Structure 1
Amino acid sequence: MTDDANRQLRLAIYALLIAVSVGTIIGRIGQMRADHGKHPFMSANDRSRWTTIRSLVDHGTFAIDDVIADRRWDSIDKVYHVGADGKRHYYSSKPPLLAVLLAGEYWVVKSVMGLSLGSYPFYVARIMLVITNVGLLLVMFASLVSLVERYGRSDWGKIFVIASAAFATFLTTFAITLNNHLIAAVAAMLAIDFALRIWIDGRRESWLFFGAGLMAAFAAANDLPAFSLFGILGLALLIQSPSKTLLAGVPGALIIAAASFGTTYWAHGSWKPPYAHRSDGPAIAQLDAQAAGDAASELNDAKVPTAVRSAFAEQGITLSETPELQVRAADDRWVLDDPVVDRRWALQKVDDGIEIRSWDRWYDYADTYWREGVKKGVDLGEQSRLTYAFHMLLGHHGVFSLTPIWILSVIGGVMLLRSEDRHWRDVAILVATLTIVCILFYTFRPLKDRNYGGVCSGFRWLFWLIPLWLVMLQPAADWCAQRRWMRWTATILLAISAASAAYPALNPWSHPWIYRYLQYLGWL
């Protein structure tokens, strides 16, 4: 068979694998029956994003109060703060850039088809998920096909990589729900594709640098750990061609930076994202030692002392007759909430005095889930960092235990590190560095953040790395192609990975099969 005929056959097999994968995803989207069929949203995570999309188009605001008045739309992933109108509102805690982009899509669907999320949530959500998630997956598959055709060395190895992408990763699992991880992964796929054309193929067209900068920044905007890709890839391209990186790559990145920071300010009136608002704001007044001593006892009795009212009055703030006072004895502080003024403040013991501070704890509100003593289950965090790292890699949320095809990616990376091609060695170092940095980053997070991504079918915070691991998979797949026993071994690893990805097929926001089995055994 000629090389051209071989290529045509491979492309036909790629198309068949991708068609089956996409057809399965579309079928699963059509079967959505979350929350007993009341709405098509599967978790607090995706529901938080949908509330912003609906609120922007249907109500013209980022505030989601009117949407979550229907409790079926409510989510624990929200914050509470003063809006542009001077009043306090609820907002999604998710970065707003993605919601703004999808609000544009929803506006088109609503305008053309006359369907709203409020009246027809199932129809609209399904339409948008097919357009967005399936469309993006097709872009990723197309990029990966181009990549394996350029760099693969065997027919079997090329087909194996495409089959792995189509069936054996959690990106297809998460294609039935609105999430940032799939979008970040597709952006990372395009960024590495553009970079390899520059790095390996020696091309120097400006559009490749622009695309690499744009996509690496977009990956970071959707998944914060992907900022490591943006930084390291940017440095690598700067070494390759300083002028093209600065003149084409940097402008691409600046577009995303402006959009990300701009939409955050537009939504929240702050350049900082919601997760950065977890502590008290600046002090606006202070009671000296004598006044503080007298005031403390009254504050502990949930009364607002005259000295405190006077301190507020000096700042031009007149408290109502019946403000609410919460005593936080464990932290030597009090929370003053005045529903009439529609403001909240923190009163904190400092040395012998008391500081009155503006409120900047956006996750701390009346019915918040994120306060200590309220969180439960996996959200409490893993006490041991060693245990956390184990379960992240080899345990109940393990990258290698759930999807063992990545063992071959490790082998492929080692093969590239030992190759004579300096450029491929550099690529392997880049992927290994990014992976290790992210693993260490999450391992050494505070206790509250060591929660495996909440109720989730895999360790989702590493999903954006999947395209890079697929690149590392290619040389190992080519190596397996030369040995019958290795082909069988690789196929078994693919089958186990595909089973793990298929297990939560109708709701990715559920625990992995290993986690559930350990629960059944009573080990968790």
Structure 2
Amino acid sequence: MKQGSAPKKTPSRREREFAVMELIILCAAAVNAVLGAGDYSNNDAENSRLATVYSLSKFGVWHIDRPAGEDPIPFEQGTIDKVMVNGHLLSSKPPMITLWMTGEYLFLNRVFGWDLDDDASLDKIMRFMTMTLAGGSYLLVGVFFAKTQRLFKTDPLTRALLLFCVLFCTQLWGFATHLNNHVPAAAMLMASLYFAIGLFKGIHRPRLWRFAAFGLAGGLVPTLDMPATVFVAIAGLYLLVKFPMKTIAASGLVAAAPLLIHAGALWISTGDLRPVQMRDDVYLYEASYWRNPQGIDALNEPKGTYLFHMTLGRCGIFSLYPILLAGMAGAVRALARPRMPAREFILAGALGFIILTAYYVLKTNNYGGEAYGFRWYIVAMPLLLLMAEPIFETMRVRWKWLFAGIMIGVSFYSAFECARQPWGANREWTCRLFLGPSYGVVWPENRK
């Protein structure tokens, strides 16, 4: 990585050719996001959010149960992602995306007359929400990933290759066409890192709007995927050291806006500022699924076993997407070479990834539930590929490129499988071929 700014010059033919290739990759991602956006699929995550959208839009309340004698809210009985707070059922999903979905639904209802009570409208509503929230975020990941690579004057071939990898060789591909919070969180994280790196290295002028942009994107991350806050916190510390006043005045104040909305929604709905994920008691009401969880949710493996399977085993980020190992190789090289360009950023990213991993090992037990791969790592995947850039920049011999090609091929296949069906445990090829299912049996269609 070559750092710093340089006088503008006319792009070479090679630069222009690979810029076109990047544009083609982004266009392919856009087509995937639009054409692949799924209909209503009746899964727990969708039903949990839709129940809240229904309740907010029809009754103006957050709880998803109705008084005795009234019809139940559609979707509520189709989800296990709910808690009991102050005598009412609530979705256990973070409120920010649900608020956005409610706004979209009110718009669609007023303009097109689409209604959640109508089955035909429901599919259209879900496609629109998926395209805007998941698909739009997927494209933002690609755009800010490419822009961040340009901050370091990355070689055009490496730039195009890693852009392809982030969009089509990770779990982002599969989850870009299904409603979730992980891809939007990855988009906001990439945007915040782009502004933080550009400002810290002096590549961008320290204008207040850039600090505000960092604050807005960074402030949205904890409202979408709370554990991913570790990466924003590290980036914020870098800016705070170099630009204390602008970071506090612009970034801090703007970041407060989404955080206050998030806190306000929690307070109105639960009477508590703590996310429900931090309150075990609200999951254990009398009729709760979580009093007697089944399948993958009932796992109680030793922490060492759990760590192995979430990194290198059946759900492993590095077994399913081995190209991400290049990011860890970049961290090892940065640790060993004090003068390596961008060393501080790579080591900071590795530290954040280690903290994120430790959190999930200590606080979870079910690999993200019924999903293809360890979905909670989605937010970190673009960052790992950014950390891999020095490895690709220095590859000069054929066998290294051949090895990288195999890693990309395996990662692409895993991403393709995830795109076909991102929800459902034990669908991974690692379960079918090597390590067996985490519980029960492998899905019948995957035994072949």
Range class of TM-score, shorter chain: 0.7 to 0.9
**8 A contact 1:457–1:504 mirrored in 2:** yes
**8 A contact 1:81–1:90 mirrored in 2:** yes
1:378-417 to 2 correspondence within 5 Å? 378-417=296-335
Two-structure CA RMSD over aligned residues (Å): 2.4
**8 A contact 1:51–1:73 mirrored in 2:** no
Q: Please say if 1:60 is aligned against 2:64.
A: no
TM-score, reference length from structure 2:
0.88
**8 A contact 1:152–1:474 mirrored in 2:** no
SS of the aligned residue for 2:220 comes to helix
1:299-448 to 2 correspondence within 5 Å? 361-371=281-291, 374-418=292-336, 424-445=342-363
Q: Which amino acid aligns with 1:201?
A: G
Q: What percent identity do the matched residue pairs reach?
A: 28
Pairing partner for 1:26 from 17, 29, 34: 34
Cα gap change, 1:101/1:64 in structure 2, threshold over 3 Å: closer, same or farther? same
Gaps of 5+ in 1: 33-39, 83-87, 279-360
- How far off is 1:69 after superposition? 4.2
Q: Which amino acid aligns with 1:395?
A: G
What is the CA–CA distance in structure 2 between the aligned matches of 1:467 and 1:522, rounded to whole Å?
30
Q: Which amino acid aligns with 2:379?
A: W
Cα gap change, 1:407/1:81 in structure 2, threshold over 3 Å: closer, same or farther? closer
What is the CA–CA distance in structure 2 between the aligned matches of 1:422 and 1:494, rounded to whole Å?
25
- How far off is 1:443 after superposition? 1.9
> Residue by residue, what CA displacement relative to the aligned partner does 1:30-85 show, whole Å, maximum 9, x if unpaired?
5x4xxxxxxx1352123211221222123322122258544686211111233xxx
Counterpart of 1:513 in structure 2 is 429
Cα gap change, 1:150/1:233 in structure 2, threshold over 3 Å: closer, same or farther? closer
Q: Please say if 1:479 is aligned against 2:397.
A: no
**8 A contact 1:28–1:506 mirrored in 2:** no
- How far off is 1:237 after superposition? 1.2
Q: Which amino acid aligns with 2:23?
A: A
What is the CA–CA distance in structure 1 between the aligned matches of 2:181 and 2:74, rounded to whole Å?
25
**8 A contact 1:158–1:478 mirrored in 2:** no
- How far off is 1:167 after superposition? 0.5
Counterpart of 2:4 in structure 1 is none
Q: Which amino acid aligns with 1:26?
A: V
What is the CA–CA distance in structure 1 between the aligned matches of 2:416 and 2:261, rounded to whole Å?
35
What is the CA–CA distance in structure 2 between the aligned matches of 1:459 and 1:199, rounded to whole Å?
32
- How far off is 1:170 after superposition? 0.5
Moved more, 510-519 or 361-370: 510-519
Higher alpha-carbon Rg: 1
Cα gap change, 1:522/1:77 in structure 2, threshold over 3 Å: closer, same or farther? closer
What is the CA–CA distance in structure 2 between the aligned matches of 1:489 and 1:159, rounded to whole Å?
18
Counterpart of 1:44 in structure 2 is 44
Counterpart of 2:174 in structure 1 is 173
**Which of the two has greater strand per residue?**
1
Cα gap change, 1:205/1:420 in structure 2, threshold over 3 Å: closer, same or farther? farther
- How far off is 1:419 after superposition? 5.3
- How far off is 1:423 after superposition? 7.1
Cα gap change, 1:369/1:484 in structure 2, threshold over 3 Å: closer, same or farther? same
> Residue by residue, what CA displacement relative to the aligned partner does 1:419-452 show, whole Å, maximum 9, x if unpaired?
565771211121011011111222223xxx2111
**8 A contact 1:41–1:177 mirrored in 2:** no
**8 A contact 1:192–1:468 mirrored in 2:** no
Pairing partner for 1:502 from 404, 411, 416: 416
TM-score, reference length from structure 1:
0.75
Counterpart of 1:76 in structure 2 is 80
- Give the length in aligned residue pairs: 422
